[in-house]
Structure 1
Amino acid sequence: TRFPSGSIGFASAGDPRTAVCMQCDTKVMLTDIPPALQTALRVGAEVETVFAQREAGLYRDGLRLTDGRFVSLQDLQPGIHAYVPALLEREGAKDLTKTLETID
């Protein structure tokens, strides 16, 4: 979700204005990755990542790919979906999908 501040982050599927905080090293699955970004990142339409933070910088939150590369949340495009597999397992496969989208 793009928040009013202009930054991109994870938000609740039920209320896209509510930011969702994540612990570092949380497994996050990205789905519906657009073809151009798939090419740029050298990944498929769905990829397993882990939530990570840079040590410094204005936008520290991002995702670490399995090959170790860091992708800032600011580099993700609207329409990409993300979910935390452990939450789906614990909640009995409830729809907890988070969507990256612009709030009007």
Structure 2
Amino acid sequence: MKELLNAVKALSDETRLRIVNLLYEKELCVCDIMEALKISQTKASRHLNYLKNAGMVSDRKHAQWVYYSIIRNEEMKFIDSLVLDSLRRLEIFNNDRLSLNEWLSRKNITCN
């Protein structure tokens, strides 16, 4: 029950909802989230840490980068529905995904 309450609390913030929406696309580093949402590194990291502490995301380090991914499990299946059936019907969440895809395209061109 505590895990469910922590998840619901974590989802009560618009920025965290926007981050979860992006992480449903793929594993992302903090810089990807910053660019897609046009937020500071501090703000992105703070919200990612909140989601991690709520058991919703995991992280892994690669060199100086930290990559985050969504944790999917049966107890939190409602999050799939929230993101895929509800959030993605709203313009802001679709715009975030477009912004992410544009950023990743530019980033791949620059890095290759």
The higher radius of gyration belongs to: 2
**Larger relative strand fraction:** 1
Structure with more helix by fraction = 2
